[in-house]
Structure 1
Amino acid sequence: MTPSHGRRQTSAENKHTAAESTVLPEAQAWKAMFALSLGFFMSLLDQTLVAVALPSIRREFDASLAQTLWVSSGFLLFVVVPLLFTGRLGDRFGQRRLFRIGITVFVIGAVASATASSIELLIAARCLQGLGASIQMPQTMSVINRVFARERRGRALGVWGIIGSVAAITGPVLGGALINSSSWQAVFLIHVPLGVLAVVLATLWVPRMPTYARKLDPLSVAVSLLSMLLLVGAIQQAPEADWAWWIWLMLLAGIAGLYGFIRLQATAQARGMEAMIPLFLFRNHNYRLGIIIIACMGFMAASLMLPIMLWLQDGQGLDSASAGLLMVPMALTSLFVSPIAGIMADKFHPRNLVVAGFSTMLSACAACWWIMAHEFPLWWLAVAVSLLGIGQSFVWGTNSATTMRDVEPRIMGAASGVYNTARQLGSVFGVSILSALLQITVAASGLAVGAANALLLLVVVLAIGLLTSLFYRKTI
Structure 2
Amino acid sequence: MTQDVRSTPAVGGEPPSSLPRRLPWSLGSGTILLGLNSAMIAVALVPMAAEFGDAGVIAWIVSSLYIAAAVGSPTAGRLADLLGPRRTYLAGLAIVLVASTLGPFVPTAELMIADRVLLGLGASVQFPAAMAIIRQQAERRGARPTGAIGVIALCGQTTAALGPTTGGLVVLLWGWQGIFWVNLPMVALCATLVLAFVPKDARRPRRGGAAQLASLDPLGMLLLVVTLVLLMLGLLSLDGAGPAWLFLAAFVPALALFVWRERRAASPFVDVTLMTRYPQFALTCLRAVATFVSFYCVFYGLPQWLEATRGLDAGLTGLLMLPVFGVGALSTWTATRLGARWHPRELLVIGSSAMVVAGAALAFATGPDAPLWWLAIVCALLGVPNGFNNLGNQLLLHRAVPAEAAGSSSGVYRTAQYIGASLAAVVVAHTLDESAPAGGVHAMGAAVCVIGAVLLAASLVALARLRRGRS
Match of 1:360 in 2: 354
Structure 1 residues 248 and 426 mapped into 2: Cα distance closer, same or farther (>3 Å)? farther
* 76-85 or 44-53: bigger deviation: 76-85
Question: Do residues 174 (structure 1) and 166 (structure 2) align?
Answer: yes
The percentage of aligned residue pairs carrying the same residue is 27
1:127-159 residue CA offsets vs partner (Å, 9 max, x unmatched): 32122123345556777899999xx99999887
Question: Do residues 195 (structure 1) and 187 (structure 2) align?
Answer: yes
Match of 1:342 in 2: 336
From 348, 363, 373, the counterpart of 1:379: 373
Distance 1:290 1:67 in 2: 32
Match of 1:18 in 2: none
Distance 1:451 1:127 in 2: 28
1:292-311 correspondence runs (5 A): 292-304=286-298, 308-309=302-303
Question: Do residues 430 (structure 1) and 430 (structure 2) align?
Answer: no
Distance 2:17 2:168 in 1: 38
From 385, 407, 411, the counterpart of 1:391: 385
Match of 1:4 in 2: none
User: Do the aligned residues in 2 keep the contact of 1:38 with 1:198 (CA within 8 Å)?
Assistant: yes
Unmatched tracts of structure 1, length 5 or more: 1-22
Question: Do residues 110 (structure 1) and 107 (structure 2) align?
Answer: no
Match of 2:229 in 1: 232
Structure 1 residues 53 and 385 mapped into 2: Cα distance closer, same or farther (>3 Å)? closer
Counterpart residue identity of residue 271, structure 2 = P
CA shift, 1:422, in A, is 0.9
User: Do the aligned residues in 2 keep the contact of 1:291 with 1:419 (CA within 8 Å)?
Assistant: yes
Question: Do residues 255 (structure 1) and 252 (structure 2) align?
Answer: yes
For the aligned residue pairs, the C-alpha RMSD in angstroms reads 4.6
Counterpart residue identity of residue 418, structure 1 = V
1:400-419 correspondence runs (5 A): 400-404=394-398, 413-419=407-413
CA shift, 1:428, in A, is 1.4
From 222, 230, 248, the counterpart of 2:219: 222
1:159-170 correspondence runs (5 A): 163-170=155-162
Counterpart residue identity of residue 158, structure 2 = V
User: Do the aligned residues in 1 keep the contact of 2:294 with 2:448 (CA within 8 Å)?
Assistant: yes
* 293-302 or 317-326: bigger deviation: 317-326
Question: Do residues 132 (structure 1) and 122 (structure 2) align?
Answer: yes
**What is the aligned residue count?**
439
Structure 1 residues 411 and 429 mapped into 2: Cα distance closer, same or farther (>3 Å)? same
Question: Do residues 291 (structure 1) and 282 (structure 2) align?
Answer: no
User: Do the aligned residues in 1 keep the contact of 2:69 with 2:120 (CA within 8 Å)?
Assistant: yes
Structure 1 residues 303 and 26 mapped into 2: Cα distance closer, same or farther (>3 Å)? farther
1:243-300 residue CA offsets vs partner (Å, 9 max, x unmatched): 55544323332332222222223333xxxx2333334433345533331232122201
Match of 1:3 in 2: none
Distance 2:273 2:432 in 1: 40
1:31-84 residue CA offsets vs partner (Å, 9 max, x unmatched): 66544443342112123334444566678xx64326974655543443345555
Match of 2:455 in 1: 465
Give me the TM-score of the superposition, normalised by structure 1.
Answer: 0.73
Match of 1:277 in 2: 270
User: Do the aligned residues in 2 keep the contact of 1:232 with 1:425 (CA within 8 Å)?
Assistant: no
From 48, 51, 54, the counterpart of 1:65: 54
Partner of 1:27, secondary structure, is: coil
User: Do the aligned residues in 1 keep the contact of 2:43 with 2:304 (CA within 8 Å)?
Assistant: no
Give me the TM-score of the superposition, normalised by structure 2.
Answer: 0.73
1:80-137 residue CA offsets vs partner (Å, 9 max, x unmatched): 4555544554555555553333233222221232465777655543332122123345
Distance 1:317 1:58 in 2: 15
Counterpart residue identity of residue 263, structure 2 = A
Partner of 1:403, secondary structure, is: helix
User: Do the aligned residues in 2 keep the contact of 1:216 with 1:274 (CA within 8 Å)?
Assistant: no
Distance 2:272 2:49 in 1: 45
Counterpart residue identity of residue 453, structure 2 = A
Match of 1:11 in 2: none
Match of 2:34 in 1: 43
Match of 1:100 in 2: 90
Structure 1 residues 141 and 296 mapped into 2: Cα distance closer, same or farther (>3 Å)? farther
Partner of 1:276, secondary structure, is: coil
Match of 1:27 in 2: 18
Distance 2:125 2:288 in 1: 20
Partner of 2:18, secondary structure, is: helix
Counterpart residue identity of residue 194, structure 1 = M
Counterpart residue identity of residue 130, structure 1 = G
Distance 1:400 1:205 in 2: 29
Distance 1:148 1:249 in 2: 51
Distance 2:343 2:199 in 1: 30
Match of 2:4 in 1: none
Structure 1 residues 349 and 114 mapped into 2: Cα distance closer, same or farther (>3 Å)? same
CA shift, 1:175, in A, is 3.3
